[in-house]
Every structure is written in C-alpha cells, then in structure tokens.
Structure 1
Amino acid sequence: MRDNYLRFPGFENVSLEDSYVLDIAVHPGVLTLKIDLLLLPGHPEYRDPLLGERACFRQATVVFSSVRDLHWAGQSVIKSAIDASGSVDFGSVDSLTRLDDSFKIEGDWGEINLRSDTPSLSIDPAPTT
C-alpha cells in the first residue's frame, strides 16, 4: 500500500510541500519535525492571512513514535536558509509517503526511511495578540 500524508489522520487541509522545516530531531524510538506549517482553507485552525502575511502559517510538530528502524541519507548536504526576517529553516517536506509498513520523507535535508507508527501532527496554540 502506498499512501500520501493527506490520508493520515490530522493531516487534512495542510500543505507540507509549502511549509518550512525548522528542526529535525532523532531520539531513541522517536523522530520529530518542527515545522512552520501552511494551513489550507477548510482546516479547523485556518484563518485569513493578516496584513503582510502571504498565507496562514502555524508552528506545528510532526512526531513519528515507536520508531523501530530509521535511515537518514543526505545529511552531509544539509544547508539552512535564512529568510528576510532572519528565521532559519531547512526547506520543505517534498514528500511524506507510507510504503506498506514503512514511511519515506524527502526534502532539501535528505531522505529519511523509517518503520514506525503513523505520524501525528500537533499544531501549537495560536499566539495571542
């Protein structure tokens, strides 16, 4: 079976391809990606962009738990980018796919193949103004 991330619970109405990876952390049994996540209309947390914003972005975390096997290729070519505001990111998630009993994640930061539970997505609370 091959599934795109949009079929994973909680990943509806988001665009990883248009989001920015802020950090990747690997710990025993867990892979975590911190993301500046693009929310699409239809997502329950979506709001119209404010003046000066090009889209609705929210800080979010993708967690792969119960990691049984993980291979990360391409780490040596990782280069961070700095945007006009001075924020650092590592590019986008080009793809996140389930391949039978494993997952494949690709981006400017390399390719990660892992066996784990289905990833979860949690969106940080909206900043108060």
Structure 2
Amino acid sequence: MNNDYSQLRGLAGVYLEDSYVLSISEAPRKFTFALDAVLTPDSARYAPPKPDEQYCYARGKLVFEHVTDITWINRSTQQYTDATGEVDLGNIDSLVFEQGLYIAEGDWGQVHIRSESEPQFVFD
C-alpha cells in the first residue's frame, strides 16, 4: 500500500498524525473517528493557532461510509489525558489505502476498512 491519505480530496486540509482521536464508532455500513483535528492552511476553516497551541484545531469526524467490511487487527483501550483533563485515544499515525481498502493505525490499534467510497472529514 503506497497511497497516503493526503491524496484523498475529502481529507484535504487535515493533518491526522497530530489530530486526537476522541472516540471510534461503528454502525451498519459506517465507521467513524471523532477527532480534535489539526487543520492545515489548505483548509477553508484554517486560522492561526491560539497562543497556547501548536496547531489550529477543529472538532469533526473522519467518516467512512458505504463500508462493506471492518477487520480489527488489534485494538487498545489505552486512554490519554491532556493538560486540560480531556481524554483521548491517541492519534491516527497512518492511513493508507489501495482499491477500496483503508488501513488506519494508531495508539488505539489497527483496523482495515473496506469501503465503496473515499472517507470524508466532516466538521461538527
């Protein structure tokens, strides 16, 4: 797999490696990461970072729709607490894809998602 998520139009302007996963949910034909996402200047909603932050953050969801298969390779329930006391599941360290198979990996585990459409980032 050599296709990186930066090639996906629906994720333009989002930098996953430093975004925080707030929750992971599965529903029929749908898989969702709730994120405190890092926005890059490519995002229409980008603003300079707040004085106490390294990045511009926005709440939203990384949504996989038209999902035909979800396979957890491993899964962790490890949680992290930030300076403000908010709990997260870590980051999405990598998201690669090839022919409808998306492989996401991070502190929370590794999951293979087969989807008939490209994932999208949707702002809350």
The reply to whether TM is greater than 0.5 is yes
Gaps of at least 5 residues in structure 1 are 125-129
Determine helix, strand or coil for the equivalent of 1:37: strand
Give, as a single letter, the amino acid of the residue that structure 2 aligns with 1:59.
Answer: R
Determine helix, strand or coil for the equivalent of 1:10: helix
Partner of 1:42: 42
Kindly indicate whether residue 13 of structure 2 is the aligned counterpart of residue 10 of structure 1.
no
Distance 2:83 2:46 in 1: 24
Distance 1:101 1:43 in 2: 25
Provide the TM-score with structure 2 as the length reference. Answer: 0.92
Distance 1:51 1:102 in 2: 39
* Equivalenced residues, count: 123
Identity of aligned residues (%): 36
Determine helix, strand or coil for the equivalent of 1:74: strand
- Residue by residue over 1:51-81, the C-alpha shift from the partner in whole angstroms, topping out at 9 and shown as x without a partner, is 2222200001011111111101222x32000
Gaps of at least 5 residues in structure 2 are none
Provide the TM-score with structure 1 as the length reference. Answer: 0.88
Given that 1:2 and 1:100 are in contact with CA atoms closer than 8 Å, whether structure 2 keeps it comes out as: no
Deviation at 1:101? 2.7
Q: For the aligned residues, what is the CA RMSD?
A: 1.4
Deviation at 1:2? 3.7
Given that 2:10 and 2:121 are in contact with CA atoms closer than 8 Å, whether structure 1 keeps it comes out as: yes
Distance 2:42 2:102 in 1: 26
Partner of 1:68: 68
Moved more, 28-37 or 98-107: 98-107
Distance 1:4 1:85 in 2: 32
Given that 2:11 and 2:119 are in contact with CA atoms closer than 8 Å, whether structure 1 keeps it comes out as: no
The structure in which a higher percent of residues are strand is 2
Partner of 1:127: none
